[in-house]
Amino acid sequence: MKKDIILKAENISKQYRLGQVGTGTLIHDLNRWWHQVRGKENPYLKIGDTNDRSTKGNSDYVWALQDINFEVESGEVLGIIGKNGAGKSTLLKILSKVTAPTTGSIKSRGRIASLLEVGTGFNGEMTGRENVFLNGAILGMTKKEITSKLDEIIEFSGCERYIDTPVKRYSSGMTVRLAFAVAAFLEPEILVIDEVLAVGDAEFQKKAIGKMQDISREGGRTVLFVSHNMAAVKSLCTRGIVLENGTIKFNGDIDQALDVYLSNDNDTEHSIVFDENTKREGSRNLEFVSLEIRNQNNKLSQEFSIGDDLNIKFKLKNNSNESRSEVAIQIKSSDEMPIFHIMARDSNYELKHTYNEEEYNVVLKDLRLFPGFYNITLISANTTGHEIYDNIENALSFQVVDGGKYTIRSLPRSVGLMFLNPEWQKTNS
Amino acid sequence: MNDNNSPNDWLFEITPKNKFFSLNLKEVWQYRDLLLLFVKRDVITVYKQTVLGPLWYLIQPLFTSVTFTIIFNNVAGIDTGTVPPFLFNLAGITVWNYFTACLTGTSDTFKANAAIFGKVYFPRIITPLSVVISNLIKFGIQFLIFVSFYIFYYLTGSNLTLNASLIFFPVLIAFMGILGLGLGMFISSLVTKYRDFTYLVGFGIQLLMYLSAVMYPMELIKKKLPEFGWLVEYNPLAYIIETARYMLLNVGEISILGLSYTLAITIAVFFIGLLIFNKTEKSFIDTV
């Protein structure tokens, strides 16, 4: 059976000009126009750096997106993830027709409505009801459509009492609720959403995510969703695209996409020596020099099975003759959920320093984590924990893979996090 | 939902550039409710939280007319014939105000609406159109003032007559709106990249008023300043205002040649404005 492709992006690229608009721009514009008049290609399309915001480029032009190709099936919820500046928002802007791509095209079989912001065009002087109509119309609804859904929208927003009050008297939370309510009742075939769920209180966020799920499941609508909220992405999306520096790094199953995204920096490393480029915080009275992860055979490794032993080996340098200190090791899952917080004192161990540089090994016996990616964070502090000497977030990551001595069934990360095999007994003898 | 999978069966396509000329009227029609809501928003929010409210619509042309009457008629001694100078000026100012409002309102379309345009797509032309329409309402109110004073002067014995061509007055006002819209769209597109034009509009409009026969009859400038008269003669706005006064007050002259010229310029300006506007709307958000 052929797939029902509702949206297709072909070779989408977007070039931006860096720096300020001034006389230089005018000269470029004239040059571009002169090439166009003679029927030649735009001379500035050939140049341009890839989009890596941290490095200094050679060109005034930069490719925010480069050769993006993907297809979306009808009814699919596609998550688009990537670091800041990876090109997510640019892609969404192109999809929602806010800006045009420099090259390439997007073909669509359905109306696209975009929700890049909640409450676009809200006017403080107008009442809630008037704003519902205005905002709905901006998002592409007709007056008739809005009228037929007005009661539902007001009920969903929970602002019934204030609906005839000017919006400028609303609390910011109420404005957002009302605005989201309008958007939630949009009925396009394709809905493009950017981070809008990062608003409102917890209760409303839950309601919003629930509504999103309803939209995609029952409505059979196609949703493209961009967010940094990994939990939301995970619960909503069926497929994921990982963007990095303006190109697609991964396109496929959402769980894999999240793993690819979150293990981005160090996906094949099992040891690291920290240097001036390491992102760290603290007074550096003591600092971590290096970190290694080894398996039970004392071999450097990044892959482990359930039940294996994990050796965390780190070197600590004493910069100010501290005699004692405390070290904490935090292990987080790939969606940034903290799982373990291990401290030396929990194991009745004291770090007493005699040498300038010392090496420690922490053995985590019988690893009970479900398959997936996990990150190790290192923290060095004084013995009371009040002064942080060094804190390196997600210094290394390791992977737990299927297999090992306990595994006799498949263990997807979606069903659990910790593997336990307790004792079972029958008690009605 | 569409089950047909033939490869050419796309509803629409997003491409780097618009076709050379594409005013998607169908799309504009789909968004007609938005147009009306924008108009409503402009009208009800403009004088919110002011004491005098919509009275400001009236105060501005009245005071301008009084000032003009004192300066140009009483001090400078411009002769307006049988028509009371105040009424003469009020007619010119009312029509001129509509043009100014359309031009200034539309000329910063992209800049002023960057926040909305950057977040959601709708046919961008809706915004300048809504400005022209909401200003039409404002013009209507100001025109009523003119009508009241007309009746007042008529009853107090001034020699006032209407011209039969008055039935074409709405067409004339439409010209004025379209000319303002076309010029405004043109400038708004340039402003996205080169802010210099904002300043140009600011003082340009002031100067243009003196070249548009607002406070003097066209004939007068030709007589008194023969070497600069062509400046006024080549200004389509001057013909519109002169014709408006001809229709309303039966003064001055109506020039078929001048009006044809105005019509041609209006259509040309509108289409050039639309063309540039269409070209700009696709990617202005990157430069604004």
Strand-pair category, A303-305 with A388-401: parallel
**Residue numbers in A near B3 (CB within 8 A):** 4
Q: Where are the alpha helices (DSSP H) in A112-171?
A: 128-138, 143-157
Mean pLDDT of A196-208: 67
* B114-147 pLDDT per residue, tens: 888 888 888 888 999 999 999 999 899 899 999 9
Given an 8 Å threshold on Cβ–Cβ distance, is A134 in contact with B37? yes
Within 8 A of B282 by CB-CB distance, chain A residues are 99-100
pLDDT at A103 over 70: yes
Range with the poorest average pLDDT among A82-86, A353-357, B34-38 = A82-86
pLDDT band at B5 (very low <50, low <70, confident <90, very high): very low
Contact A108/B at CB under 8 A: yes
Among candidates B10, B45, B286 on the partner chain, residue whose Cβ is nearest the Cβ of A108: B10
- Residue A212, pLDDT > 60, answer yes
Q: How far is B285 from chain A (nearest CA, A)?
A: 6
Between chains, do A125 and B12 touch, taking CB under 8 Å as contact? no
pLDDT at B230 over 60: yes
Report pLDDT digits (tens) over A174-193: 888 888 888 888 878 888 88
Tell me whether A24 touches chain B (CB under 8 Å): no
Q: Using 50, 70 and 90 to split pLDDT, how confident is the model at A142?
A: confident
Q: Residue A119: which of A68, A80, A47, A168 has the closest Cα? A: A168
Greater confidence (B182 vs B165) lies with B182
For residue B113, what is the nearest residue in chain A, using CA coordinates? Answer: A121
The per-residue pLDDT for B99 is 93
pLDDT confidence of residue A263? 65
Cβ-defined contact of B14 to A108 (cutoff 8 Å): yes
Q: In this model, does residue A311 exceed pLDDT 90?
A: yes
User: Which residues 43-72 of chain A have a CB within 8 Å of chain B?
Assistant: none
Q: Which helix (H) or strand (E) holds A332?
A: strand A324-333
Q: Do A137 and B34 touch (CB under 8 A)?
A: yes
Higher pLDDT, A36 or B95: B95
Q: What is the pLDDT of residues B245-269, one digit of tens each?
A: 888 888 877 888 888 999 999 999 9
Helix (H, G, I), strand (E, B) or coil at A71: strand
Report the distance separating Cα A220 and Cα A401, nearest Å: 34
Cα B261 from Cα B257, distance rounded (Å): 6
At A6-25, the pLDDT tens digits run 888 888 888 887 665 555 56
Distance (Å, whole) CA A257 – CA A255: 5
Query: At residue A322, does pLDDT exceed 90?
Result: no
The structure tokens listed for A41 are 């290609």
* Closest CA in chain A for residue B11: A109
pLDDT of residue A22: 58
pLDDT reading at B4 higher than 60: no
Nearest CA in chain B to A111: B11
Q: How sure is the predictor about A406, in pLDDT bands with cuts at 50, 70 and 90?
A: confident
Question: Is ipTM > 0.85 here?
Answer: no
- The type of residue at A402 is D
Give the residue carrying structure tokens 């040309």: B268
Q: Does residue A25 belong to the interface with chain B, where contact is any CB pair within 8 Å? A: yes
Among the ranges given (A124-128, B20-24, B81-85, B240-244), the one the predictor scored with the smallest mean pLDDT: B20-24
Residues of B within 8 A of A17 (CB-CB) are 286-287
Q: Nearest by CB to A117, which of B37, B119, B194?
A: B119
Q: What percent of chain B has pLDDT over 70?
A: 93
**Partner B contacted by A11 (CB < 8 A):** no
State what percent of residues in chain A have pLDDT above 70.
88
User: How far is the C-alpha of A188 from the C-alpha of B246, rounded, in Å?
Assistant: 53
Q: Is B100 buried (19+), middle (13-18) or exposed (0-12) by CB count in 10 A?
A: middle
Instruction: Indicate the residue type of B153.
Output: Y
The H or E element spanning position B30 is helix B25-30
From CA B47, how far away is CA B53, in angstroms rounded?
A: 5
- Per-residue pLDDT, B261: 92
Which residue did the predictor score with more confidence, B287 or B101?
A: B101
Beta-carbon neighbour count of residue B3 at 10 Å?
7
Measured distance CA(B117)–CA(B284) in Å, rounded: 9
Q: What is the mean pLDDT of chain B?
A: 84
Q: Does position A249 have pLDDT exceeding 50, yes or no? A: yes
CB A258 within 8 A of CB A228: no
Residue A390 has pLDDT above 60, yes or no: yes
Mark out the alpha helices in A185-295 (DSSP H runs). Answer: 202-217, 230-236, 254-262
User: Mind listing the domains of chain A with CATH numbers?
Assistant: 71-262 (3.40.50.300), 271-401 (2.70.50.60)
Token digits for B265? 């310029």
Q: A122: nearest CA in chain B? A: B116
State the pLDDT at residue B136. 92
Q: How far apart are the C-alpha atoms of B99 and A142, rounded to whole Å? A: 30
Alpha carbon of A40: minimum distance to chain B alpha carbons (Å): 16
Helix (H) or strand (E) holding A372: strand A372-381
Helical residues (DSSP H) of A158-277, grouped into ranges: 172-184, 202-217, 230-236, 254-262
Kindly determine whether residue A123 and residue B45, on different chains, have CB atoms separated by under 8 Å: yes
* Three-class DSSP category at A144: helix
Give residue B1's pLDDT.
Answer: 39
Tokens (6 digits) for B264: 């041609």
What pLDDT was estimated at residue A266? 47
Quote the pLDDT of residue A20: 59
Retrieve residue A78's tokens: 């596609």
Task: Calculate the average pLDDT of chain A.
Answer: 82
Q: Give the residue from chain B lying closest to A92, CA to CA.
A: B119
Q: Does the beta-carbon distance from A111 to B11 stay under 8 Å?
A: yes
Rg (alpha carbons) of chain B, rounded to whole number: 21
Given this model, what pLDDT does residue B98 score?
93
Highest average pLDDT, of A269-283, A355-369, B197-211, B221-235, comes from A355-369
Does the CB of A165 have a partner CB in chain B at under 8 Å?
A: no
Check: CB of residue B269 under 8 Å from CB of residue B99: no
B-chain CB neighbours of A137 within 8 Å are 31, 33-34, 37
pLDDT tens per residue, range B12-27: 777 776 655 566 777 8
**Does the structure show a pLDDT above 60 at A159?**
yes
